Amino acid sequence: MAISEQSSKNSGTMVEIDRLIHEPARFNIMAHLYVIQSADFLFLQKQIGLTWGNLSSHLAKLEKAGYIEIEKDFIGKKPHTMLYLSNNGRTAFEDYHKRMKQVFKHLPA
């Protein structure tokens, strides 16, 4: 059996995983935003332990995919960024969770 044929047969049995959420840092961001209503940039950064730039770049990717919403406003004169999971993001995270469970369902303990 040719390698490409074997590979395509295997991929047919594999569950499709959302690669955007599968990345550990983004999974962490999604998981944190899933359990709360919203948080600002600083709070999320402290909880997850990413650098300012790293978090910004992951958030931009998640925002582009429509998984999170970023709201910029002012508290007094200070700029403030609140982040929350969009309905789309919430559904995607639940779906990811379901699929991952399915992947490991038949794994011996």
Partner 1 sequence: MANISNLKEIEKKVFSSYFHDGMLDLYGGLMLLGFGLSILTNKIYLLIICITLAMVPLLIRKHIVLPRLGLVKFSAERQAKTKKSKLIALITGVFILFLVTFFMALFSVNILPAWVEALMNDYLLAFLGVMIASIVAIAAFIVKVRRFYIYAVVIFIVFCLASILSPLDMEGIIIVSAGGIILLSGTIIFIRFLHHNPLSREEIAKWQ
**Residues within the interface to partner 1 (CB under 8 A):** 24, 27-28, 31-32, 34-47, 52, 78-80, 82
Q: Is there a contact between 96 and 16 (Cβ–Cβ < 8 Å)? A: no
Residue labelled with tokens 């995270």: 93
Indicate the residue among 7 and 54 with the shorter CB distance to partner 1.
Answer: 54
Quote the least distance from Cβ 38 to partner 1, whole Å: 5
Quote the least distance from Cβ 43 to partner 1, whole Å: 3
Three-state DSSP state, 89: helix
Indicate the residue among 22 and 64 with the shorter CB distance to partner 1.
Answer: 22
Quote the least distance from Cβ 11 to partner 1, whole Å: 23
Dihedral of CA 21/24/30/35: which sign?
A: positive
Quote the least distance from Cβ 108 to partner 1, whole Å: 18
Distance between CA atoms of residues 28 and 77, nearest Å: 31
Which token pair is 37?
A: 């209503």
Indicate the residue among 64 and 80 with the shorter CB distance to partner 1.
Answer: 80
Cα angle 70, 76, 78; round to 5: 55
Indicate the residue among 4 and 74 with the shorter CB distance to partner 1.
Answer: 74
